[in-house]
Structure 1
Amino acid sequence: MSRFSGYPGRSYSRFALVSLLLVGTAGITLSAALAHAAIGQQDLDVPFKDTAKAASVTTHPPFTGDPDKVDFLADSVAYDETRQIITATGQVEIAQQGKIIKADQVIYDLPQDTVEAVGNVAMMDTNGDVHFAERMQLQRSIKDGYIKKLRSVLADGSRITAAEGKKTGGKTVMKNASYTPCEECKAHPEKPVLWQIVADEVSHDKDEHAIEYKNAKFEIYGVPVLYTPYFSHTDGTIKQKDGFLMPKMSLNSRLGFGVTSKYYLGISPSEDATIGARVFSKNNPQLLGTYRKRYDHAEMEFDSSGTYSDDTEQFRGHLFGKGLWDINDKWRAGFKNQLTSDDKYLREYNITSENVLENQIYAERFEDRDYFVARALAFQDVRVSDRSVDQPNILPELQASFMGDPNATLGGRWNLDLSSLNLLRKGNGQDVFRTSADASWERKDVLPIGLVNQFTISSRVDAYQISDRDEISIVGGAGDAQAFRFYPYIHDVVSYPVSKNIGSALAVIEPTFALTTSLRTKNTTDIPNEDSQDVQIDAVNIFQPNRFPGLDRVEDGTHVTYGARTGIYAADGSKGEVFLGQSYRLDDWQNPFPKGSGLSEDESDLVGQVMAQYQDLYSLNYRFQFASQNLQSERHEVYGFAHLGDLSLSSTYLYARTLDGTDLQDSRQQIYGSASYHLNEDWNLLTDVRYDLSKEEQGLRYSGIGVNYIGQCFTVLTTLRRSYADKDTGEAATEFSVQLGLKNLGSIGTNE
């Protein structure tokens, strides 16, 4: 076997010089060297026509990847000096600049400036593409050439075949060609693949990362089902390419039949945009647009749509956006905007089902344990209902939190929270300005007997300025007012966790007792309640010193809290936990909690939680609230999950009684369930349903069923959905969707 490795600028024998002239003219530098197949540094007679011109042995390692070097390997090499042709025969391999060619025979023709490979030809490109052919003729450093009976495997696994092809630079034009990203059947490779595109001519442009077809037919299992005179798509090697996206179709009871067409514009590797339109049989066309941009330390994204309504003779649309800017290692800023023309637009066009839209701009600072944020927020309530009071705008909100080192102050840690809030309703409701400062100190001790004690002392000051106050969130009547509140408290929590090993599992029981006391404070006479309305005792907040969310309401007086948590934890991740707790007020002051919160009586409702999990197969989480006097149900939340082989089941149940002081004037009771069944590796069935069990709105709220096929190169997602009208959405709708996904081509569907 002969091996050649060459560098420019060295002294070689006569044959090596001829080789340098030959391959240098073709754009390849080559020097001759001989090596024995088994003994790499011994001389070997090589069947040259003129063996006297053979070069002496050199020992460069093969396929080094040096850009100025060609590595050459063959069983035998012959040189015709008259015709200036080198012929390499038998297991020929040539490598240069990451490209590798293998063939039974390779012929270098200096006058024609060509390299021809014959028999079992294989060429491996730098991007991972591999090409096989019966014959391949290349020019100019194997950049240009002609190929016969081509079979190519692209870097992403896609395959191209052609009767013949011509390669010019980075573009290959193939005749009578086909393309498919689908894998062949391993047991029967002669069978037609799932789908392929067959065309009279296929062009693959590596520089543009595009594949174009002329007179193309789309075949499924070898049967033509679609014809187009021209078609193009990316070759799967890039994530960004200008062009039309696959059209989508929709079928909706409100909008009718629709077609969506979009054009993708790749402005730069870090910036793109999409524009398009949706045309409906029952509505006017809808224009669409998205824009995304990423900077070194920032990013932003916008999504928009718009249409003209003949019914209202008004423009309808939406604009959503978000952005984030990492200013430095301590500061960052961002924004989020959600705007729409009317309450029904977003649901009618399946954009989002959110009830309240949020707009905000903010700046944050992080340093050690300290945190600061300044932000402005505005809200848009898009529930279909009559509202007497608008959602307030927050212009602005300031929050700062400072925390001391652990155990640094009297064996504990200090904490300081500052906040300022300005709520504006533009004349449709009360305006509130609030500022607050909260200083606290806490210490945690573990006594030698195992008792854990956590002691907290806190003092908070709140100041309010109220304009156009109303009776919805304040008792004192309409008008302007100022209010001041001082709220100090002492809070001590004692627990005694005990554990015991039971086989490979660990059992734990932890009884807990807490005492909280504070001065009597103002809660309702002068101070409005904006952020503390939705108060509910549960297993999470029962041991908190103040069970009110927000700052507008505080829990004054003295109360004790008691409960216990027990659990068992297995080595395989399985576990079971049970918690039960209750609270009791010790003074006769006016109770600040509304009815339905579980805290409106001196003796609170019983709250608890039961959790069970067996590995990753089964899970149950049940949280409950019972009235302490008669054990009447007040609130239940149940979530369960089961994975039974190919069948997966999940369900959520909620029951909650009315809560005074909020818009939740009716009891809520709802159940949701979903199931998924995998028929095999590719097929699965889906279904889900939501049912309202409350007396006021009893009935089916949502149902859906789906059949999905997810294969190696083809996906089918089929769904039938039915949404039923309620007081928030105002309308019902039925939608059927079928979305087909073709690898590297995109998707065609009946759902936007």
Structure 2
Amino acid sequence: MRALLALCLCLLPCLAQAQGAATLVADRVFIEGEERLIAEGNVEVLYDGTRLTATRVIFDQPSDTLTIDGPIVIETPDGTILLADQGQIQPTLENGLLRGARLVLDRQLQLAATQIDRVEGRYSQLYKTSVTSCTVCGTRAPLWSIRAERIIHDEQERQLYLENAQFLIRGVPILWLPRARLPDPTLERTTGLLVPELRFSSELGTGIKLPYFITLGRSRDLTLTPYLAPGTRTLEFRYRQAFRSGDLTIEGAVTDDDILPEEGRGYLSVLGEFEIGPKTDLLFDITTVSDNAYLLDYGISRSDTVESRIELVRTERDLFASAALVNLEYLRDNQNNADEPNLIGDLFVEQRLFPAMGGELRAGLDGRLLYRASDDLGVEGRDLVRLGTSLSYRRDTVTAAGLRLTAEGALFADYFSVGQDNDVEQSALRLTPVVAATLRYPLSRTRPSGATELLEPVAQIVWSDSGNQDLANEESTRADLDEGNLFALDRFPGGDLREDGLRANLGVSWTRYNPRGWSSTLTLGRILRADDAPAFSDTSGLSGRQSDWLLAGQIRFSDALTLASRSLVEDSFDFGASETRIDFDGAFVDLSASHIWLAADPEIDRNNAVSEWAMEAAYRISPNWELSTDARYDIRADDPVEAGLGLVYRNECVEVDLSLSRRYTSSDTVDPTTDFDITVGLRGFSAGRSADGPVGRCRN
């Protein structure tokens, strides 16, 4: 029969005084002499959230110690587990000695020792210790382990201090460490070395990255990453700080390499987001780079433009306001920074109102400032200020027959001021009234199979008149017909051009939902105009009195497979543009592939047709192995653009990531390069990272 020590304490007041901090539960409890309490069978000792289980416990009152026979299991509130064969420990479980012991941290990192000394409830001192987070099968050596003469575990600081340690792979020593300090797996962040990365580059040679993380208090940290290779000496850095109102990140690199041996290279980026008032945020992302090729050479970014932005945003239920200042730096060889827009200012404010007569009223204010550094006259040096206001009204009505009628009206007023370009009006005010009516007639039916079909024809009539003034066009140089703007009042992306004339936007969509879990959608549409639309390019699908046919469709098979396509088709059945994409998310395979075709259009600086396919795929070979690949291929030029291959192995104790990438493009400042990276992470030591990989199994 199980008994509680509390019953014995009623009979032994002196013992109760010594043992009052702990509680004992056992199958059999008896007193030997006057100073020894013996508990046997399913013994449990509970103290301040810590639980000890054993087969036999002897409490000696004069020494105030527990002598314990194993197997012994001690579980602390933070998840630490101590296993031992036998030991002596205080009733408070804070001090003592365990023999043939094993310490398990966060249920993943195992430390086996001949002896563990517990001191002050904070320190565990382990002698002749073997450490691993791998599954241990009998006498077979684990995949990796660390053997140390002594290890001290500081539970308060959550650190492991190693003395005279060896790192072994399958029992073979490969590295000796006289002293080392490592975080235990329960620690979220601490100063120390992060996972190194081995990198091979055809331009820089074989090198290594050694990131070192430095904590600077609870809200700040700094990461320094030396990158050493035959062709480069680089120091990367990242500083982060959290404030009550936001976050700040500063990162960059300083480089001395053989690509530009006589020039200092590097980049700097400052990123922040702060709440400066109720529903008001300040955002900034400022980046500068030493030369056009640096970001691509070091795999930081593939963008051909460096953008720096400061933005103020206010968001309410019926109000949105944004003011931004943007600086652009162009990295293409054929672009002169002085001839391109360098400084851009954007303003946008929109307020929604709901008048008593019904419907929705919107009032807006938008503006753009554009500055070029060039002093030339014409497009190369043009500076622009545009300020616009708008007022629009919309009301929806549904008839008894199910027809949905939408009436809309709007008035846009735009003021332009242009400098350094005499080919356009220097100062002008443009008023653009717009009226529109849209009729939708959604029809639905259910098939005998249970499938639901929805057919919705839509007809929209729009009239607007901007006066056909010869104004500067900076924002609306490119526009394309797609499902999102088929029924738009204005298809230009900016406010410097407004769509003119009387036009009818016609379309029909058909959707089918199958009870077996798949669905399909098909959209067909076209625009008919009273007059030509010369402001649109020939390949936009919007030019002429009749636009191209818009044909778009999507098929979704449950959540695994999706096929989507969109094309602009001329009356002659020639394609002006076409895009097709397939996505598959399976149990073992993930695949995304796309193809794009764009006809040549010198009006928008596309002198040659574009035909390109791209692909990304991942194959889970087993729970431990995953293979991935990606590629882009220029079909028109019959040349690859880039390709990559990756292989990842992970289990409960290690993660190895191999990646190979090749960039084929070249220019005056960028050469084709091949990069190979390898990173090896030991699970169980990464701060804040759990050993969530597949767990190894032992076989007889």
With normalisation by structure 2, the TM-score equals 0.91
Matched, 1:578 2:522: yes
Query: Amino acid of the residue matched to residue 383 of structure 2?
Result: D
Alignment partner, residue 48 of structure 1: none
SS of the equivalent of 1:141 reads coil
**Structure 1 residues 158 and 727, CA gap change in structure 2 (3 angstroms):** same
Larger radius of gyration: 1
Matched, 1:501 2:502: no
- 1:23-56 CA distance string (max 9 Å, x none): 3xxxxx2xxxxxxxxxxxxxxxxxxxxxxxxxxx
1: CA distance between counterparts of 2:491 and 2:357?
Answer: 28
Alignment partner, residue 50 of structure 1: none
**Structure 1 residues 386 and 592, CA gap change in structure 2 (3 angstroms):** closer
Kindly state the Cα deviation for residue 106 of structure 1 after the two structures are TM-superposed.
2.2
SS of the equivalent of 1:314 reads coil
**Structure 1 residues 242 and 642, CA gap change in structure 2 (3 angstroms):** closer
Alignment partner, residue 247 of structure 1: 196
- 1:580-635 CA distance string (max 9 Å, x none): 111111136x632223222221111111101111112321100001123x121110
Alignment partner, residue 351 of structure 1: 300
1:474-553 matches, cutoff 5 A: 475-476=423-424, 481-502=426-447, 503-523=449-469, 525=470, 527-553=471-497
Matched, 1:617 2:618: no
Query: Amino acid of the residue matched to residue 203 of structure 1?
Result: I
Q: Do the aligned partners of 2:269 and 2:288 also contact (CA within 8 Å) in 1?
A: yes
SS of the equivalent of 2:540 reads coil
Q: Do the aligned partners of 2:199 and 2:207 also contact (CA within 8 Å) in 1?
A: yes
SS of the equivalent of 1:268 reads coil
1: CA distance between counterparts of 2:282 and 2:6?
Answer: 58
Matched, 1:419 2:420: no
1:719-738 matches, cutoff 5 A: 719-727=659-667, 730-738=670-678
Deviates more, 1:723-732 or 1:172-181: 723-732
Alignment partner, residue 641 of structure 2: 701
2: CA distance between counterparts of 1:74 and 1:744?
Answer: 35
Alignment partner, residue 301 of structure 1: 249
2: CA distance between counterparts of 1:706 and 1:364?
Answer: 40
Query: Amino acid of the residue matched to residue 90 of structure 1?
Result: G
- 1:515-559 CA distance string (max 9 Å, x none): 111225235x2x211110111112221211211111111111111
Matched, 1:90 2:45: no
**Structure 1 residues 510 and 76, CA gap change in structure 2 (3 angstroms):** closer
Matched, 1:433 2:385: yes
2: CA distance between counterparts of 1:79 and 1:6?
Answer: 12
Query: Amino acid of the residue matched to residue 366 of structure 2?
Result: S
**Structure 1 residues 409 and 584, CA gap change in structure 2 (3 angstroms):** farther
Q: Do the aligned partners of 1:338 and 1:357 also contact (CA within 8 Å) in 2?
A: yes
Alignment partner, residue 366 of structure 1: 315
Query: Amino acid of the residue matched to residue 294 of structure 1?
Result: A
Q: Do the aligned partners of 1:6 and 1:70 also contact (CA within 8 Å) in 2?
A: no
2: CA distance between counterparts of 1:362 and 1:158?
Answer: 46
1: CA distance between counterparts of 2:516 and 2:679?
Answer: 40
SS of the equivalent of 2:563 reads strand
Alignment partner, residue 378 of structure 2: none
Deviates more, 1:262-271 or 1:209-218: 209-218
Alignment partner, residue 697 of structure 2: none
SS of the equivalent of 2:13 reads helix
Alignment partner, residue 4 of structure 2: 3
Deviates more, 1:221-230 or 1:668-677: 221-230
Alignment partner, residue 632 of structure 1: 574
**Structure 1 residues 729 and 450, CA gap change in structure 2 (3 angstroms):** farther
SS of the equivalent of 1:469 reads coil
2:98 paired residue among 131, 144, 147: 147
- 1:178-201 CA distance string (max 9 Å, x none): 11112346xxx5544332222222
Alignment partner, residue 59 of structure 1: none
- 1:355-397 CA distance string (max 9 Å, x none): 2122111221122211111221111112233326544344542
Alignment partner, residue 693 of structure 2: none
Matched, 1:263 2:212: yes
**Structure 1 residues 576 and 411, CA gap change in structure 2 (3 angstroms):** same
Matched, 1:710 2:657: no
Q: Do the aligned partners of 1:156 and 1:236 also contact (CA within 8 Å) in 2?
A: no
1:18 paired residue among 14, 23, 29: 14
Matched, 1:336 2:280: no
Alignment partner, residue 618 of structure 2: 676
Deviates more, 1:504-513 or 1:304-313: 304-313
Query: Amino acid of the residue matched to residue 123 of structure 2?
Result: K
Q: Do the aligned partners of 1:594 and 1:660 also contact (CA within 8 Å) in 2?
A: no
Query: Amino acid of the residue matched to residue 451 of structure 1?
Result: L
2: CA distance between counterparts of 1:361 and 1:528?
Answer: 26
Q: Do the aligned partners of 1:596 and 1:660 also contact (CA within 8 Å) in 2?
A: no
Kindly state the Cα deviation for residue 644 of structure 1 after the two structures are TM-superposed.
6.1
1: CA distance between counterparts of 2:565 and 2:537?
Answer: 24
Q: Do the aligned partners of 2:197 and 2:678 also contact (CA within 8 Å) in 1?
A: no
SS of the equivalent of 1:343 reads coil
- 1:61-95 CA distance string (max 9 Å, x none): xxxxxxxx53222334444666x443333332211
Kindly state the Cα deviation for residue 651 of structure 1 after the two structures are TM-superposed.
1.0
- 1:208-254 CA distance string (max 9 Å, x none): 21223333333334444444333332110011011122332211011
1:653 paired residue among 572, 595, 604: 595
Alignment partner, residue 536 of structure 2: 593
**Structure 1 residues 176 and 487, CA gap change in structure 2 (3 angstroms):** same
2: CA distance between counterparts of 1:645 and 1:147?
Answer: 47
Kindly state the Cα deviation for residue 295 of structure 1 after the two structures are TM-superposed.
2.1
1: CA distance between counterparts of 2:466 and 2:319?
Answer: 31
Q: What is the CA RMSD across the aligned residues, in angstroms?
A: 2.4
Alignment partner, residue 690 of structure 2: none
Query: Amino acid of the residue matched to residue 426 of structure 1?
Result: A
**Structure 1 residues 395 and 599, CA gap change in structure 2 (3 angstroms):** closer
2: CA distance between counterparts of 1:205 and 1:140?
Answer: 21
1:86-235 matches, cutoff 5 A: 86-139=37-90, 141-169=92-120, 170-184=122-136, 191-235=140-184
Alignment partner, residue 289 of structure 1: 237
With normalisation by structure 1, the TM-score equals 0.85
**Structure 1 residues 145 and 657, CA gap change in structure 2 (3 angstroms):** same
Kindly state the Cα deviation for residue 174 of structure 1 after the two structures are TM-superposed.
1.2
1: CA distance between counterparts of 2:391 and 2:237?
Answer: 49
Q: Do the aligned partners of 2:197 and 2:677 also contact (CA within 8 Å) in 1?
A: no
Q: Do the aligned partners of 1:689 and 1:703 also contact (CA within 8 Å) in 2?
A: yes
SS of the equivalent of 1:347 reads helix
**Structure 1 residues 708 and 247, CA gap change in structure 2 (3 angstroms):** closer
Kindly state the Cα deviation for residue 308 of structure 1 after the two structures are TM-superposed.
3.4
Query: Amino acid of the residue matched to residue 432 of structure 2?
Result: Y
SS of the equivalent of 1:596 reads helix
1:317-328 matches, cutoff 5 A: 317-328=266-277
Alignment partner, residue 60 of structure 1: none
Q: Do the aligned partners of 1:233 and 1:744 also contact (CA within 8 Å) in 2?
A: no
Alignment partner, residue 26 of structure 2: 74
SS of the equivalent of 2:67 reads strand
Percent identical across equivalent pairs? 25
Kindly state the Cα deviation for residue 462 of structure 1 after the two structures are TM-superposed.
0.2
2: CA distance between counterparts of 1:400 and 1:520?
Answer: 22
Segments of structure 1 that go 5 or more residues without pairing to the other structure are 24-28, 30-68, 748-752
SS of the equivalent of 2:15 reads helix
SS of the equivalent of 1:117 reads strand
